[in-house]
Chains A and B, each alone.
Chain A
Amino acid sequence: MATTEAYIHAPAEPVRPSTRAIIWDWMTTVDHKKIGILYGVTALFFFIVGGIEATLIRIQLAKPEMQFLSADLYNQIFTMHGTTMVFLVGMPMAVAMFNYFVPLQIGARDVAFPRLNALSYWIFLFGAIFMNVSFLFGQAPNGGWFGYAPLTSSQYTPGLNVDFWVLGLQALGAASIMGGVNFITTIIQLRAPGMRLMRMPLFTWMAFITSFLIITALPVLAVALFLVTFDRFWGTNFFITQAGGDPVLWQHLFWMFGHPEVYILILPAFGIVSEIIPTFSRKPLFGYAVMVYSGALIGLIGWGVWAHHMFATGMGPVADAFFTVSTLIIAIPTGVKIFNWIATMWGGKLWLHTAMKYAIAMLLTFTIGGVSGVMHATSPHNLQQTDTYFVVAHFHYVLIGGLVFAIFGSFYFWFPKMTGRLMSEKLGSWQFWIFFIGFNLTFMPMHWIGLLGMPRRIFTYYDELQLADLNMLATVGVAVQAVGILLLVYNLIHSYFRGERCGRNPFGAATLEWATESPPAVHNFNRIPEVHSREPLWVEAERVEAYAFGPMEENMHMPPNSYWPIVTAMGAVLTFVLFMTNIWWMPLIGVVWTAIGVINWAYEPT
């Protein structure tokens, strides 16, 4: 075990460690920055996997009655595309950014539970691998990312497909909940002196709200998944109609998780944009307090709208009316946020850096997605829209136009902090425009495809719908997007090795993460700065920097590396894997493994 002293007083230019030592270090790290990078790289990898799945889907739909994929393979691929993009890309990408930047933004040395943080990552990684291994068996999940009962029961899907899905998701959910607990504790407990709640950067605020949504919504999914697991493995009848089970219960449970999940995905994007826009406008965020309250309000009301995914389910007019109104109300705080971002830009001095381009594009495309969201909210016409490509267009405008644009923007914004090098602006600009055009080319036609009568999740369609041209256009758009994403990956790799070196704060940003070296030292700040404002580096830079780069704090304690998180994660995921054997005592091996990991963890000195 490396001791505290070994970290802090290590020589400035240590001997280059062996590859094995580097790998071991990454496997046992508890440093929030390294774990953040692990999350980010993994999520980017699965983004490409999900992107390949999307491409296969679009090739199959390029023309009517294509025979490129079989029906079953198509169903597996669209299921895994959705599951991957939500659970293996959207959430972990946000968690990557939380991990790296929340402790820096609030002036902490690490998260509150560093080893738990590592455990979250390893369970996430093993769960993700487990779920994708299903492709090797030819039995990837095929019930849709929403897994409606009773299609997921063993009567209608007897293979391993749904087993991979329920068990894999259970693992991923557990990892997310641990992460949520960690961030809430970190943000409540570890803020720098003077960093009141209402002085926290907006990104940290959104991480805070998102974490509350995670620890409340994911358990609902866990319960629902347990019920399916019991039905499939132990013959219970929660969703089996022949025995009096009610499949509509699944829909309520799933969307009770599923709608807050939407905000789990989009609030981090709001946070990122709220950092980028003020920085590149050289103006403080307009209406900070309202931005915080509206974010919290969205999270809160987000709990009362789940059944707007179920207007066609047949809940009756009273429930339809209630969920219509509650959903429409969410448009108000969201609209306020948009206006406040515009007001932040108003009268500013806009530096149209690629990060800023992505943020502005996010405002535009997210608004399009928001507007079609209001159209869905009107439940009478939702009966025409739901389960068509109009909905597909809507949520891709929200999740790519909202979340992915913000995430890409955050790459250009925070990459220099993470690596000490700037990303190429020239490549960045090209990459932005190609991706932006490809995105609109793919998803704009889908609004018409849907309203002209094409349902979702169909592996084929027929010429008589007369939608061949629009579908071909959407497929061409995917090719353009693919070029944009490859350019981004190239830019990341190229800039990591060749990028122009940058200082501590290349963009003149205001928040504490820029009061560290680029990349930050393992202990982040030499002394934890005291802050007296929301924009410490604009208002009180000298004082803050005197702390951050001044003399080292004495008796600083950093948590040592530990291999128990990865051991415990192996045991936990092994439990799920062994469940697949359908032999009752097999999962106990994983349970014992996990227990050994937890006990040793508990006795490990930190």
Chain B
Amino acid sequence: MTSLVLLFTTLVIAGCEAGANYPQTTFRTVSAFGDALNKVFYNTFGWTMGILILVMGLILYATFRFRERPDSPDPEQIHGNTKLEIAWTIAPALIVVFIGVPTVQTIFETQRRPPEDALVVEVVGHQWWWEFRYPEYGIVTANQMWIPTDRYVSLQMHSNDVVHSFWIPRIGGKRDVNPLPRVPDGQPAAHKNYLLFNVREPGHYLGQCAEFCGESHAIMRMTVMAVEQPEFDDWVSRMRAQPAQPQQPAPAIAAAPDAAAAPGAGQPADAAQSDTAMAQAAAQGQTQAEQAPAPAAPAPLRIGEIRPPTGVGNPFVPPVDDAALQQEGERIFMAAACVACHQIAGTTATGLLGPALTGYGERPWVGAGAAPNNVENLVRWIRDPQSLKPGTLMPGTVRGGGGMGPTGLSDAEVRAVAAYLMSLK
């Protein structure tokens, strides 16, 4: 009986999303955690749909069958029927048992303590971005969480400000990310919320904050890069290494910044020409590109597309490979207000207030999901982040933010910083 219910509901639900690729669907889960939730759902769905169809059938039948007609007799004045009423009290009670027992089992099953060898990731919610810390490796990153497949991942979560909620639908259910009450010294710390899962399929999974957390709650998104263990180890070593110092210009892999060698990147050409310095930079890039055409790169990953990452470089858009510009950008970054809030491993930037930018070039988005990550959007972001994400604390070049004055960077400087950040991988 139960298996019939499951079969029926699986068919119904499979039919509902056939043919489309919804990156945040709750149906096609990729972890045992998500599967367990769906199993409970299909069971409940089956039973309740059965009831719904029965009740709707009875209501519609009664409406048409007993509709007043010219020859309708006066109805018999019945006040009740104890046997019937007992029957339709017991029937729902039984169904509640059929739904309740597997549900309670799953509650305990999905909230068990993590195994010893689980990868611990500390998740910290901020208005409006995500911080991921890997105590095992000493890595801090933001808005993009890399995890190995086929290994338990144990998220330990708390918030730095208001209540957020961590949700990657294809992995499983959400869990609130609460600010923890400060406790007096010597008292045990308040408990952190946790999630435990084990992702089966390598892939790129989208998620976002699910608890209303203020003005830009809608732009508090994140991605999970689930990769196989070797690739994960590779990422770890890249994140821990000094960032590549672009000492030697490498014309062989140079690409034009504005042509961006990226089909579908969709950068408006006139945006760059609005500014002399940027036009120069573009011209410089073009010259290099003419000298040595870039090798064919794999097509950029569409956001939400399910394809295992290649492990090297930004899978979403290639970086600006102008080594001189990148170097200049690094110098400007380290000397400007940027370092007050941002950290980049292996550099003098050690700010803690804003998202860590180590490996920034590999991220799909600017501003935790405000726009796709490419040079144009990054320039726009550094110039005026408020225009992409209302309420963000980051100051722009002209407009301040978060209690800080404007950074005062010129457009050429912004361009260089953007080139530098895109080179981080």
| Chain A residues with a Cβ under 8 A of chain B | 70-72, 75, 142-144, 148-151, 156-157, 241-248, 281-284, 286-290, 312-314, 316-317, 320-321, 324-325, 328-329, 331-332, 335-336, 338-340, 342-343, 345-352, 360, 363-364, 367-368, 371-372, 374-375, 378-388, 448, 451-462, 464-467, 538
Chain A, residue nearest B17 (CB): A452
Residues of A within 8 A of B214 (CB): 75, 151, 156-157
For the complex, give the distance between the alpha carbons of A244 and B189 in Å.
11
Q: Which residues of B contact A339 (CB under 8 A)?
A: 55, 85, 88
For window 208-228 of B, CB contacts with A under 8 Å fall at 208-219
Shortest Cβ-Cβ A-B pairs, 7 listed: A383-B173, A453-B24, A458-B218, A314-B193, A464-B304, A381-B41, A335-B92
A72→B390 contact, CB < 8 A = yes
B176 x A314 contact (CB < 8 A): yes
Name the distance in Å between B223's Cβ and chain A's nearest Cβ: 11
Question: Do A290 and B181 touch across chains, with their CB atoms under 8 A apart?
Answer: no
Other A-B contacts than A148-B212, A459-B218, A465-B304, 12 sampled, CB-CB below 8 A, are: A150-B163, A283-B75, A290-B80, A324-B107, A328-B103, A338-B55, A345-B59, A346-B66, A367-B52, A381-B40, A383-B37, A387-B210
Tell whether, in the assembled complex, residue B216 and residue A71 are in contact, meaning their CB atoms are under 8 Å apart.
yes
Is the CB of B78 closer than 8 A to any CB of chain A? yes
A286's contact among B78, B99, B206, by CB below 8 Å, is which? B78
- Residues of B near A143 (CB, < 8 A) are 212
Q: Using Cβ atoms and an 8 Å threshold, which residues of chain A touch B165?
A: 312, 387
B100 within 8 Å of A (CB atoms): yes
> Closest B-chain residue to A329, C-beta based?
B96
| Bound Cα distance A345, B49 (Å) | 23
In the complex, what residues of A have CB within 8 A of residue B17's CB?
448, 452
Residues of A within 8 A of B137 (CB): none
Q: Which residues of A contact B179 (CB under 8 A)?
A: 150, 241, 247
B: number of interface residues (CB 8 Å):
99
| Contact of B111 (CB < 8 Å), options: A320, A338, A385 | A320
Which of B91, B93, B96 is packed against the most chain A CB atoms within 10 Å? Answer: B96
Kindly identify which residue among A75, A242, A378, A457 contacts B40, using a CB–CB cutoff of 8 Å.
Answer: A378
Which of A151, A332, A378 meets B92, CB within 8 Å?
A: A332
A150 to B163, CA, bound (A): 7
B16, B103, B184, B212: the one contacting A448 at CB < 8 Å is B16
Are B390 and A290 touching (Cβ within 8 A)?
A: no
Whether B210 contacts A386 by the Cβ 8 Å rule is: yes
B74: Cβ under 8 A from any A Cβ: yes
B25 touches A461 (CB 8 A): no
A92 to B152, CA, bound (A): 52
* Interface status of B44 (Cβ within 8 A of chain A): yes
Q: Is the CB of B80 within 8 A of A286?
A: yes
20 inter-chain pairs at a CB distance below 8 angstroms, sorted by A residue, are A287-B79, A312-B176, A325-B104, A335-B51, A339-B55, A339-B88, A342-B59, A350-B67, A352-B67, A363-B59, A367-B52, A378-B99, A380-B103, A383-B173, A451-B26, A451-B27, A455-B167, A465-B24, A466-B22, A538-B77
A320 to B, closest residue via Cβ: B107
Which of B62, B89, B107, B182 has a CB less than 8 Å from the CB of A380? B107
Knowing A332-B92, A371-B51, say if A345 contacts B44 (CB, 8 Å): no
Q: Does residue B143 face the partner (Cβ distance < 8 Å to A)?
A: no
Residues from chain B with a CB closer than 8 A to the CB of A151 are 162-163, 212-214
B302 within 8 A of A: yes
Contact in complex: A380, B16 (CB < 8 Å): no
Q: Is B288 on the interface with A (CB-CB < 8 A)?
A: no
> Which single member of A243, A284, A383, A453 contacts B23 (CB below 8 Å)?
A453
Minimum distance in angstroms from B313 CB to a CB of chain A: 21
- Whether A460 contacts B219 by the Cβ 8 Å rule is yes
Residue on B nearest A353 in the bound complex, by CB: B68
Nearest Cβ on chain A to B100's Cβ, whole angstroms? 5
A464 touches B303 (CB 8 A): yes
Cross-chain contact B181 with A246 (CB below 8 angstroms):
yes
Q: Does B38 contact A (CB under 8 A)?
A: yes
Does the CB pair B181–A241 fall under 8 Å?
Answer: yes
Complex Cα gap A569–B210 (Å): 40
